[in-house]
């Protein structure tokens, strides 16, 4: 059975090389190409090279017993081709694995050219052919072309594809001044799980003035976008009027302060990031401000004067599916319910200049949208994935843990609306014995270079098993690879956001053991030891090529 891989980025190249190594014939489609002597690129890629690193050259920490290290160790043991090239092209970068990006891509290109089982097609895929009876791996990344995005929506049903990631800041719990805040749920509905930071009128005015004066992050030309009314940045809401935030994410109604018996002028709510409650996110506080500006403005919130930020707010382009609704543990698109049959054709786009990217989603979001004004020019400080300076490496980009409490936000969604919400029917409905489609990389709902390569590795392994007529065995939950997939397929679909690997995603130690081992480093070491053992057992049981 043939395998086609769509997207020659990190995940796609890893998947293609893995499947070919496991004896499968692979057709690899990549739309970046030289056309009439001119490079046809995406808005972020600068070359036509395979596996281009679009921004930093770091594959994160190599410090033993951190979560990014653990993931890389498993990938090395699992024979990841791209990680081998990363190791071979590493440049000195302290405790991180950083690579010479040109050499890294060159080695990927060489390996693909040298692999007789891989055929390369330099063309944009716009449709998925239902007649294709092989295995498809979709790995077209955060900048999936417009036509294919529309096709994926058609395939999965609208409301299951997001085009933006809007991220609220996260603070470490023990840096919150608990004397200045109170626990409560709005209208006392449910348990009092939220930390509420109350503001009087003067405090609110000071905060608002600082917010209005805060320096925005640069918005790249292709990121200038129509944001959705449901997840507007706080600075945009603030510009609409001095009271707008008090009717949005800082709404105080139903949040009487039990210490005074009065309702504050405004309230900032903090919600637990994980069951351990060692970090909290600022509900509805997505923003597009420079990190330094965020540190200043957010520390004006009562209780957060000395807050340590694990992550700052961001809003950026990112195309990803609602994996918890769509994928199974082997990254396969789940069968859809009965319905009308539809043909899914794989067609190449006509040759020619790249079309302007659709920055707005076709999702059924609120009707009105607001255009962000251009931000002043300046260094690209916050566009993507920069860690909060004070946070420990492996927790810098914490994402919501699946076990978060019920939504109690003051009316602000925290990611592109539509995903995980109401849907239109999908084109898979009623298809008899659909050929398998797997998702990998950023499009599947993971975040980051290493995580994209990791899901590419898994997709290659699973697709090869299917192509050989076997049922793929998912990576164990206890492993880092398994935990990453476990997160994307089991997260709450309504709050789903892409995730980096962190200890939050890994299987926690038993409560008794956690209590016994007080030292966090030792707990992490134990989790890593268990993960590697689980990975080895899975990997060793898998049939290998001769
Ligand atoms: C601007 C930006 C900066 C980022 N910076 C970082 C960073 O510093 N560190 C980090 O860890 N992560 C970063 N990321 C996130 C993520 O890790 C990278 O985007 C990573 O490259 C994702 O890997 P991928 O394989 O999923 O997608 P990509 O590497 O983007 O690969 C997808 C490939 O699919 C191709 N493609 C798209 N549509 C089609 C189509 N219809 N037909 C054929 N081919 C198609 C694209 O040309 C591309 O080559 C960044 C993302 C963006 C957008």
Spacing, Cα 383 to ligand 1 middle (Å): 14
Taking CA atoms only, the protein residue closest to ligand 1 atom 14 is 448
Does the structure show a pLDDT above 80 at 265?
Answer: yes
In a domain, 467, yes or no: yes
pLDDT attached to residue 69: 98
Range 417-442 average pLDDT: 63
Residues of the domain holding 52: 3-165+318-357+419-504
In a domain, 362, yes or no: no
Which of the pair, 498 or 112, is modelled with greater confidence?
Answer: 112
Q: State which of 449, 450, 451, 454 you would mutate to test the pocket of ligand 1, scoring each by most atoms of that ligand within 8 A of its C-beta.
A: 449
Quick one: DSSP state of residue 47?
S
Range 202-206 average pLDDT: 98
3-class state of residue 492 by DSSP:
coil
* Mean pLDDT across the chain: 82
Total domains in the chain come to 1
Range 331-347 average pLDDT: 55
- Of 31-40, 225-234, 427-436, the range with the highest mean pLDDT is 31-40
Taking CA atoms only, the protein residue closest to ligand 1 atom 5 is 55
Does the structure show a pLDDT above 50 at 327?
Answer: yes
Range 197-222 average pLDDT: 92
pLDDT attached to residue 224: 61
In a domain, 233, yes or no: no
pLDDT attached to residue 371: 26
In a domain, 214, yes or no: no
From residue 480, give the alpha-carbon distance in Å to each of 67, 432, 459.
8, 35, 15
In a domain, 329, yes or no: yes
Atom of ligand 1 nearest to the CA of 7: 34
Taking CA atoms only, the protein residue closest to ligand 1 atom 15 is 448
3-class state of residue 461 by DSSP:
helix
Burial 423-450 (b: 16+ CB within 10 A, else e): beebbbeebeeebbbbbbbbbbbbbbbb
Does the structure show a pLDDT above 90 at 273?
Answer: no
Kindly report the CATH number assigned to the domain that includes residue 427.
Answer: 3.50.50.60
Least confident of 17-26, 188-197, 246-255: 188-197
Least confident of 26-30, 117-121, 255-259, 416-420: 416-420
> Which tens digits make up the pLDDT trace of 445-474?
999 999 999 999 999 999 999 999 999 999
Cα-based angle 156, 226, 151 (whole degrees, multiple of 5): 20
Taking CA atoms only, the protein residue closest to ligand 1 atom 16 is 448
In a domain, 255, yes or no: no
In a domain, 494, yes or no: yes
Spacing, Cα 436 to ligand 1 middle (Å): 23
> Which tens digits make up the pLDDT trace of 354-378?
222 222 222 222 222 222 222 222 3
pLDDT attached to residue 362: 26
Taking CA atoms only, the protein residue closest to ligand 1 atom 4 is 55
pLDDT attached to residue 88: 96
Q: Distance between CA 355 and CA 369 in Å, rounded?
A: 22
> Which tens digits make up the pLDDT trace of 36-86?
999 999 988 999 999 999 988 999 999 999 999 999 999 999 999 999 999
Other beta carbons less than 10 A from residue 25's beta carbon: 16
Pocket residues: Cβ below 6 A from ligand 1:
6-12, 29-32, 42, 44-45, 54-56, 124-125, 139-145, 148, 317, 384-385, 441-443, 448-449, 452
Q: State which of 140, 399, 457, 484 you would mutate to test the pocket of ligand 1, scoring each by most atoms of that ligand within 8 A of its C-beta.
A: 140
pLDDT band at 419 (very low <50, low <70, confident <90, very high): low
Taking CA atoms only, the protein residue closest to ligand 1 atom 11 is 448
pLDDT band at 158 (very low <50, low <70, confident <90, very high): low
In a domain, 215, yes or no: no
pLDDT band at 163 (very low <50, low <70, confident <90, very high): confident
């Amino acid at each position: 059975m043939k395998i086609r891989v769509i997207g020659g980025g990190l995940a796609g190249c890893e998947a293609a090389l893995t499947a070919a190594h496991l004896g499968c014939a692979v057709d690899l489609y990549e739309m970046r190409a030289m056309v009439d002597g001119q490079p046809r690129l995406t808005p972020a890629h600068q070359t036509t090279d395979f596996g281009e690193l679009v921004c930093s050259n770091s594959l994160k920490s190599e410090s033993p017993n951190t979560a990014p290290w653990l993931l890389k160790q498993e990938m090395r043991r699992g024979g990841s081709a791209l990680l081998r090239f990363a190791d071979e092209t590493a440049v000195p970068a302290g405790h991180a694995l950083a690579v010479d990006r040109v050499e890294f891509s060159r080695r990927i290109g060489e390996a693909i050219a040298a692999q007789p089982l891989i055929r390369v097609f330099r063309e944009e895929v716009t449709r998925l052919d239902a007649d294709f009876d092989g295995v498809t791996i979709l790995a077209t990344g955060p900048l999936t072309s417009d036509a294919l995005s529309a096709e994926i929506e058609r395939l999965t049903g609208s409301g299951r594809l997001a085009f933006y990631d809007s991220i609220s800041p996260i603070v470490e719990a023990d840096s919150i001044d608990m004397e200045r805040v109170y626990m409560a749920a709005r209208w006392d509905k449910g348990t009092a799980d939220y930390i509420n930071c109350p503001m009087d009128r003067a405090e609110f005015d000071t905060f608002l003035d600082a917010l209005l004066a805060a320096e925005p992050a640069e918005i790249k030309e292709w990121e200038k976008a129509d944001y959705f009314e449901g997840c507007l940045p706080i600075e945009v809401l603030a510009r609409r009027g001095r009271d707008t935030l008090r009717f949005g994410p800082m709404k105080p109604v139903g949040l009487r302060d039990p210490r005074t018996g009065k309702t504050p002028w405004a309230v900032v709510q903090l919600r637990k990031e994980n069951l351990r409650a060692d970090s909290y996110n600022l509900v509805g506080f997505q923003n597009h401000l420079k990190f330094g500006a965020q540190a200043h403005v957010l520390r004006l919130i009562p209780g957060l004067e000395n807050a340590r930020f694990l992550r700052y707010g961001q809003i950026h382009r990112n195309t990803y599916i609602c994996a918890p609704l769509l994928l199974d543990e082997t990254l396969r698109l789940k069968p859809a319910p009965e319905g009308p049959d539809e043909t899914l054709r794989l067609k190449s786009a006509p040759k020619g200049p790249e079309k302007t990217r659709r920055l707005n989603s076709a999702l059924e979001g609120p009707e009105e949208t607001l255009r962000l004004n251009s931000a002043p020019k300046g260094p690209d400080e916050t566009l993507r994935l920069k860690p909060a300076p004070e946070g420990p490496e492996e927790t810098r980009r914490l994402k919501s843990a699946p076990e978060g409490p019920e939504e109690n936000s003051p009316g602000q969604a925290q990611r592109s609306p539509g995903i995980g919400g109401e849907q239109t029917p999908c084109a898979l409905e009623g298809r008899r014995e659909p050929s398998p489609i797997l998702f990998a990389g950023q499009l599947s709902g993971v975040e980051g270079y290493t995580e994209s390569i990791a899901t590419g590795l898994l997709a290659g392994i699973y697709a090869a098993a299917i192509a050989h007529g076997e049922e793929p065995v998912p990576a164990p939950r206890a492993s880092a690879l398994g935990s990453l997939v476990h997160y994307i397929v089991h997260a709450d679909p309504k709050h789903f956001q892409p995730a980096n690997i962190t200890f939050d995603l890994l299987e926690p130690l038993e409560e008794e053991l956690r209590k016994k081992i007080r030292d966090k480093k030792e707990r992490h070491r134990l989790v890593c030891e268990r993960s590697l053992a689980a990975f080895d057992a899975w990997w060793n049981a898998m049939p290998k090529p001769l």
